[in-house]
Amino acid sequence: MTLKSLGYVSSLALVTALATPAFAQDQSPTPSGNASAQATTTTQGQATAGNPNLQTTGDETNQNNEIVVTAQFRAQNLQDTPIAITAVNGAMLDQRGQTNITQVAAQAPSVTLTPQSQTGGIGIVAFIRGVGQTDFDYALEPGVGMYVDDVYIPTLSASLLNLVDLDRVEILRGPQGVLGGKNSIGGSIKLFSKKPEGSNTGYLEAGYGSFNELNLRGMADIGVSDTLAVRVSGVATSHDGWVDIVNYGLTHPSSNVPALDSRSAYKVNGREGSQNMQAGRVALRWRPTSNIDFNVSADYTNEKDSPVPDVLIAAGLPGPTASNPNPFNPAVPYGATNANGGGWLVGKNGAPVPYDCHFVPYGQYSCDTGASLPAGVDRRYMTYANFLDAMVPTSQAPYKPYEALQNSDFTGWGVMGNLQWDISKAAQITWIGSYRKYKSNFSQDQDGSPVAVAQLDNQLNAEAWSQELRLGGDIGNGFFDYTLGGFYMKQNNRYSARVDLNYAGIDFLHGPDTTPSTSKALFFNGTIHPTEAWSVTGGIRRSWDEKTYTYFRRSPDGTIPVPDGPGIGATPAGTGAATARTRPHSRRPTRAAAPRRGARSGSCPAPRGARTAA
């Protein structure tokens, strides 16, 4: 099936049904003393536009805290920038020991940045002033724009950016679009790398911490000639996980739960939350004349992690619902049986094992007792997930047992170029081009227990090519400054998954769902300065976005289900059991044209039920 979304957006700104089992999981907080817990300073050291009385703490007191930003595509003191912006320079990042963008955002007002949960793999969830996006599906657009050296990063995956050799970070709050790049309704987060200077300097840092955390980062800035310089930087980090994966059957030998786990015969089979990441960047800078600055860079990231840590905080019969008018009660179990009456997990006595509070290891909704846990296991940081569906095969779901992977991997690379040509004070040309590509694999055990409620293996493949051209300048000796430009981006993305949803009675291959898209825009922004203390700014943007979402569904063995049957997930052809194919149908293109200051263009309406299955 194919869905197409066409968006035509103009912006003008002027400023004076299925009863699923109740379960709740939470991304596990980092335990005290964990390697990932970084020390941060108070917000007194934060530089925010509109705060002329900037305060500092610690070693920052004696430093020059003037921060130069380019949010309006000209160098300005942060305090003189008339927009809602928070900025941190490289020196402040080093002093605070901040190595990840989420740590910077924690000190910015109205900004929330968190890593993706286990259901999203390696990536980031960004919200500014309550506007953002949590779903990684390519059919949707992020509400907050992420940029590296003015290059737009179009997806939530791959956006958990490590602060490697940065010059500064700028967080712009509110709708963005009339100043360039891709429009975003929540705001923008911009990372700017340090440019090569040819200083023939470098550094190498190493650190070791709890959970066997090892951090390495380094840089070398080399002058090749008077006009050419190269800068090489890299980072590597690794640490153990902190959420123990515990075998319920082995730790509760008197229970009805069998000790099913093909990976290990131990009570603790591994840990969620481990990380093993390496990233590198090579930048080349050429300045043939005083008014031409050409920069080109290439980067590569490789990350092999265990699943993102999740802990189960509640399980049982959902309520109140149409079938259960009573409020949720953790003591009331969910039956966890299929359409044939068989259990999703068959107990040692042959009876179905219910899904309930016995699998919640800690908290007010837990009734887990009688566990024989190994020494050192903390109930606050453990899970009974086993990433295994051991249900007895049925005609509706014959492809069992199914064992999901236990991984969260990412490999990506990109190249980008930036040319600045200062023809005169009134005419300055900027070109920005990039190509980026990545693959992300991650697994999910959404129930956090040996009862297989929902399990998935996911793969995301993405590539994006973008071009941006801007003309800016200052006319009338500071009376009027402007930015005029155009933006183009083309993406080719695919999402594939094995989707095993026992609560819905389906088990199928999701995709590959392709989502090609193009985005084009023209924008203009100008500011008049009648006096030094008074300015009037206006901007306009015109966007053209097109995105086509085509989705496929197949049986887990790769075959196409037979038409006119009860549903996806039945036995292969020739066994006498009927299956069904999702019937293709079309929807009219969605078109939008409305004058508004900010807009999230480019999103495509996902097919009904598709995200439930994914």
CB-CB contact of 181 with 468 (8 Å): yes
Question: Among the listed ranges 165-169, 190-194, 237-241, 439-443, which one has the minimum average pLDDT value?
Answer: 165-169
Query: For residues 228 and 254, is the Cβ–Cβ distance under 8 A?
Result: no
Q: Which helix (H) or strand (E) holds 543?
A: strand 534-550
DSSP string over 22-85: EEEEEEPPPPTT-TT------GGG-EETT-SS----GGGGGS----EE-TTSS-EEGGG--S-E
Residue 608 has pLDDT above 90, yes or no: no
CATH of span 2-239+273-308+406-551+583-613: 2.40.170.20
Summarised one tens digit per residue, pLDDT across range 251-262 is: 999 999 998 766
Q: Where are the domains of the chain?
A: 2-239+273-308+406-551+583-613
CB-facing half-sphere around the CA of 407: CA atoms within 13 A: 13
CA distance 504 to 18: 7
The pLDDT, as a whole number, for residue 46 is 40
- Cα atoms found within 13 Å of the Cα of residue 516, Cβ hemisphere only: 1
User: Which structure tokens are listed for 544?
Assistant: 């053209």
Of all residues in the chain, what percent carry a pLDDT higher than 70?
76
Q: Give how far the C-alpha of residue 554 lies from the chain's centroid of Cα atoms, to the nearest Å.
A: 27
pLDDT score of 508 more than 50 = yes
pLDDT of residue 24: 62
Least confident segment among 92-101, 236-245, 504-513: 92-101
Cα maximum dimension of the chain: 87
Residue 197 confidence class, pLDDT cut points 50, 70, 90? very high
Ranked by mean pLDDT, the top range of 162-171, 236-245, 542-551 is: 236-245
Give dist(CA 334, CA 328) in Å, integer: 11
pLDDT in tens, 10-49: 445 454 444 556 656 666 666 644 433 332 222 233 444 4
More confident site: 165 or 258: 258
> Among the ranges 53-57, 350-354, 506-510, which has the highest mean pLDDT value?
350-354
Write down the number of H helices and E strands in the chain: 4, 32
Cα–Cα dist 64/59, whole Å: 11
For residue 587, pLDDT beyond 50: no
Distances in Å between the Cα of 411 and the Cα atoms of 156, 164, 436, 465 are 15, 17, 11, 17
Token code pair at residue 271: 């840990």
609 sits in the region (left: phi over 0; alpha: psi -120 to 50; else beta) called left
The pair of structure tokens assigned to 4 is 């197409």
User: Residue 586: pLDDT band by 50, 70, 90 thresholds?
Assistant: very low
Contacts for 427 with CB less than 8 Å, ≥ 6 apart: 471, 473
pLDDT band for position 611 (50/70/90)? very low
Least confident of 115-129, 283-297, 503-517: 115-129
Residue pointed to by tokens 């183009």 = 488
- Of 119-123, 231-235, 351-355, the range with the lowest mean pLDDT is 119-123
> For position 82, what pLDDT does the model report?
57
pLDDT band at 134 (very low <50, low <70, confident <90, very high): confident
Name the pTM for this structure: 0.80
How many whole angstroms separate alpha carbon 163 and alpha carbon 166? Answer: 6
At 605 the pLDDT is 53
Query: In the predicted model, is pLDDT for residue 415 greater than 70?
Result: yes
Residue with tokens 């979402």: 549
pLDDT at residue 293, rounded to an integer: 97
Query: Which pLDDT does position 421 carry in this prediction?
Result: 97
- Whether the pLDDT of residue 68 is over 90: the answer is no
The reported pLDDT for the residue numbered 492 is 95
Average pLDDT value for the chain: 79
The more confident residue out of 102 and 571 is: 102
Asked if residues 64 and 127 have their Cβ atoms less than 8 Å apart, the reply is no
Residue 593 in this model has a pLDDT that exceeds 80: no
Give the 3-state secondary structure of residue 373: coil
Average pLDDT over residues 184-212: 91
Residues in CB range of 438: below 8 A, 6 or more apart: 157, 158, 301, 410, 411, 412, 413, 460, 461, 462, 463
pLDDT at 302: 93
Phi (first) and psi of residue 249, to 5 degrees: -60, -40
- At 596 the pLDDT is 32
Q: What is the model's pLDDT at position 36?
A: 34
pLDDT for 500: 93
Per-residue pLDDT reduced to its tens digit, 422-437: 999 999 999 999 999 9
Pinpoint the alpha helices (H) of 269-368. Answer: none
Highest mean pLDDT among 177-186, 481-490, 503-512, 561-570: 481-490
Look at residue 232 in the predicted model and tell me its pLDDT: 96
